[in-house]
Chains A and B, each alone.
Chain A
Amino acid sequence: MTEANRSPVPASAEAARGRPLPVPDKSSAAFWEAAGRHVLALAKCSGCGKMTLPPDITCPNCLCTDPRFSFEPVDGRGRIRSWVVMRKSFLQGFDLPFVLVDVQLDDHPHVRIVGRLLDGPAAPLKLGATVKVAFEDLAPDVSVPAFQLDQAS
């Protein structure tokens, strides 16, 4: 990921109003550290080498009990499988409305991620549209993966 992936929508105002911030733990610290650098990383099982997200206690692919996941950068391009226009939120701090998209990653099709679509609620959406990962900066070194429509597609 490069600086070009920086969010066009500064979200720090939302964070200041209490938008939930992720609290990294032992299983997720490397993911959030990478996200802070605007890198999408998936959990790779040291046994079978397959990727997953979120990491689990066991590997969901080979079922081993000691997956010792490492987080590896991925391309972050995918296709929209569904979306929801959020005109209400059970959480505080979000400007309404916003759009959530369910994205299937091109290079890891068993991995699907729900993220905010940063193009906003007026953006034209269609099933299968290509998106690329983007990041919202919520606090110093705290960024959350989101998606943007891939205009090149």
Chain B
Amino acid sequence: MTGRFLARNKVAIAGFAHSQIVRRPERPLGATAVETARHAIADAGLTVDQIDGFVSAALLPTTGGHDVQDGVSTVTSAWLAQRLGADPAYVVGFQGVGQITGSLSLAVNAIASGAADYVLFHRALHNPPGKYNDNPMVEARGAHQWIAPQGFFGAMPAVAMAYNEYCLRYGATREAMATTVVEARKNGSRIPWSAWRGRPLTVEDYLAQPQVFEPMCRLDADMPVEGVAVFILTSAERARDLPNKPVYVSGFASGYPQEHRATLHWTLDDMMAGGEALSRRLWAATGLGPSEIDLPQLYDGFSPFIYIWLEALGFCQIGEAHDLILSGGIDSDRPGSLPVLSGGGAIGNGRMHGVPQMLENYLQLSGRAGDRQRPGVTTGLACHSTPHYGGVVVYTNDPA
């Protein structure tokens, strides 16, 4: 696609439901998914027989080599449709890295094309028993042979490598990252379903943490959790006849790595090159620019991604995100700031893998954020993953 997204604002979110986010669940993930799906269908003013499309992404994002079982450690759309007793015409799953943004594009395209009228879009995240990422391998095969023999393994060391490159190049301090993480946890502490509700953090708490993958500490990574989010999407016309204020999808773009490297070898330049291409496509598709986004919800599965997305999408100059943050520029309680973590993000909610960014867009733009409702919010965006593997979706409540 070279220009404007033809289905711009023609598909909308009509309702949602979200489970409690918990560290360790009391029942199987699939049971929570079915119940949350029923709540979302009812929230949209629909019944299950009207749902003719199911779209999701089912990745269990761990390097720990855990067995994957549908309904237990993941929930696919086909599994969920069957347990709801639905008879869908359209069932698909997204296989890429930017799970929420990529799968959302499949749902939007299905409705825009007429492949489905009402799509149930979900994401179910599991926290497997035992260690999340520890891997007992003694033989490094395939892609792992190029990284594991030297001890380079897991996403967090990979992000730490790119983040330290940022620190070394631009002089970013731990205080700037502490401010970022404290902002995420502040907002997450105010969210009733968050795994971190009522548990904000101070800069001193952050600075006292050992740097396990220096320069990163444990608080720079989101906590593995169990939780389910479900959204119901339909056409803009149908959505206007349903109970909730529609939130329209204005466009989306994904990023792709442009350099060949060993698995998980993510460099700062590769992320920014992917981001430059993604950004160009996103603004062309939506006809918007960063200054028109009231609610940029940036992805923070690892806190350094906030710097990367701020700069890649043009919310500040390259190399200046850490200065912006230190001067209060992302404080969601400060008028005029960029509230990039107002929904708490992954660090403030738990590892919901792009859900908090999408949910905050939906809640604020539909006027359903309750005590946290922000005035005058018209247009937002939600990111997932990194700019060179993930994506961005732009939302609005004003389709004119």
Contacts and interface: CB of A to CB of B under 8 A. Distances in A.
Interface of A: 18-25, 28, 32, 52-54, 56, 60, 81-94, 98, 100, 102, 110, 112-116, 127, 136, 138, 144-146
Given A19-B149, A24-B145, 17 more contacts: A20-B148, A22-B149, A25-B142, A32-B145, A82-B267, A84-B213, A84-B214, A89-B151, A89-B153, A90-B133, A92-B136, A93-B138, A112-B265, A116-B150, A136-B150, A144-B149, A145-B150
A113 B140 CA distance: 17
Contacts of A115: 150, 152
A90 to B, nearest CB: 4
A28 B265 contact: no
B267 A116 contact: no
A91 B211 CA distance: 18
B348 to A, nearest CB: 23
A25 B141 CA distance: 8
A90 B150 contact: no
Given A22-B145, A84-B164, A114-B161, A102 B150 contact: no
A107 B137 CA distance: 34
> Range of interface residues on chain B?
35 or more
Contacts, number: 125
B98 to A, nearest CB: 21
Among B140, B149, B154, B210, find the residue whose CB has the most chain A CB atoms closer than 10 A: B149
Interface in B103-156: 133-154
Closest 4 CB pairs of A and B: A60-B260, A85-B214, A82-B165, A90-B154
Given A87-B212, A98-B151, A81 B165 contact: yes
Contact of A54 (B64, B136, B146): B146
A127 B166 CA distance: 11
Interface in B164-212: 164-165, 168-169, 210-212
B141 A23 contact: yes
Given A84-B161, A89-B151, A138-B149, A102 B267 contact: yes
Given A85-B214, A98-B151, A52 B139 contact: no
Nearest to B169: A127
A53 B153 CA distance: 17
A149 B259 CA distance: 26
Contacts of B147: 114
Interface string B351-390: 0000000000000000000000000000000000000000
Contacts of B214: 84-85, 87
Contacts of A138: 149
B249 interface: no
B164 A82 contact: yes
Given A53-B262, A91-B137, A127-B168, A116 B213 contact: no
Contacts of B142: 25
Contact of B152 (A22, A23, A100): A100
A112 B165 CA distance: 13
A83 B169 CA distance: 12
A90 B63 contact: yes
24 contacts: A18-B136, A19-B138, A20-B144, A21-B149, A22-B145, A23-B141, A24-B145, A28-B145, A52-B260, A84-B215, A85-B214, A87-B211, A88-B212, A89-B153, A90-B133, A90-B135, A91-B137, A91-B151, A100-B161, A102-B161, A102-B267, A114-B152, A114-B262, A115-B150
B224 interface: no
A91 B153 contact: yes
B162 interface: yes
A90 B134 contact: yes
A102 B213 contact: no
Contacts of A60: 259-260
B261 interface: yes
A55 to B, nearest CB: 10
Contacts of A93: 138
Nearest to B270: A112
B160 interface: yes
A24 B141 CA distance: 7
B350 interface: no
A151 B138 CA distance: 34
A116 to B, nearest CB: 5
Nearest to B63: A90
Nearest to B145: A22
A81 B169 CA distance: 9
Contacts of B246: none
A115 B213 CA distance: 15
